[in-house]
Structure 1
């Protein structure tokens, strides 16, 4: 099973979910398609097990991070670790937590995030919403960064800065009366760093969580 999942992850890393077929996997392993069916019953199960195999490395990294005195800071570190992993492997965003009956590592990672909220003065619903919001920011932002890259960037006809500045220049030319916000942030858009933008969104989410936890005590 280890060899099957390692090869499946390699195929996914190379070309995403469409590249992972039983025939391609059997070719990579130098075996017959029938052999794969000894380990998984269908492609959905294969994708879930491959996802969980990859998430195992994230879980290990998170478990190695020592707890601090601040659960919000610990949540932040865990979230960034998961984000970086999904950016490196964009296909993970489509399958992470899809089937926790199979994805034991994903469920344990979700649990690790949730355990930090047990250190905060929150209701069970607030804890559920908090972890949902954090994973949403992580997976959603990473998925956006993993969308298909425009061909002109792949071909090297234009670099990222020039590509973004093309749109920013259009925004700068808009009437500031009709588009005051877009007009004001055009320069920020042209120069933004994707990872910094993610961390800003994460910090806004976590600051809201901190304020909620520090508000007047509720009946819990």
Structure 2
């Protein structure tokens, strides 16, 4: 099973979910398609198990992080670790926590985040909403960054700065009376850093949690 999942993760890293077929996996392993069915019943199970295999590494990194006296800061550290891992492996965002009956590592990572809220004065509903909000910011932002890259960027015809500047310039040409906000943030958009944007969204979310918990 370890060899099957390692090869499955490698295929997913190379080209995403569409690349992971039983035929491609069998070819990577140098075996027949029928052998794979000894380990998983179908592609959905294979994707869930491959996801959990990859999440295992993230969980190990999170478990190495020591607790501080600030549970919200500890949640932030865990969230950043998860975000960085999903940015490196965008396919994870589609399958994370999809089936916790199979994804034991994913559930344990969710539990690790949730345990920090047990250190705060919150109701069970507030804890559930807090962890949902944090994972939503992490997975949603990472998934957005992992969408298909425009071909002109892949081909090297333009770099990222040129690509963003093109949109910023079109925003500046809009009527400032109708689009005052867009005018004001056009320069910020043109030069923005994706990770910095994620950290800002995460910190805004956690600031709300801090207020709710009155810490």
Question: What TM-score do you get using the length of structure 1 for normalisation?
Answer: 0.97
What is the deviation of 1:175?
Answer: 1.3
What are the Cα deviations for residues 62-110 of structure 1, in whole angstroms up to 9, with x where unaligned?
0000000000100000000000000000000000000000000000000
What is the deviation of 1:176?
Answer: 1.1
Please list every run of 5 or more consecutive structure 2 residues that lacks an aligned counterpart in the other structure: none
What are the Cα deviations for residues 27-54 of structure 1, in whole angstroms up to 9, with x where unaligned?
0000001110010000000000000000
1:44 corresponds in structure 2 to 44
What are the Cα deviations for residues 165-202 of structure 1, in whole angstroms up to 9, with x where unaligned?
00000111111111000000000000000000000000
What are the Cα deviations for residues 100-150 of structure 1, in whole angstroms up to 9, with x where unaligned?
000000000000000000000000000000000000000000000000000
Mapped partners of 2:120, 2:176: distance in 1: 44
Secondary structure of the residue aligned to 2:153 is helix
Between Structure 1 and Structure 2, how many residues are aligned? 215
Mapped partners of 1:177, 1:41: distance in 2: 59
Please list every run of 5 or more consecutive structure 1 residues that lacks an aligned counterpart in the other structure: 214-218
Matches within 5 A, 1:140-179: 140-179=140-179
Secondary structure of the residue aligned to 2:201 is helix
Mapped partners of 2:47, 2:175: distance in 1: 48
1:206 corresponds in structure 2 to 206
Mapped partners of 1:34, 1:210: distance in 2: 53
Mapped partners of 2:91, 2:150: distance in 1: 18
Question: What TM-score do you get using the length of structure 2 for normalisation?
Answer: 0.99
Mapped partners of 2:32, 2:83: distance in 1: 36
Mapped partners of 2:148, 2:204: distance in 1: 27
Q: Which runs of 4+ in 1 moved over 3 A?
A: none
Secondary structure of the residue aligned to 1:101 is coil
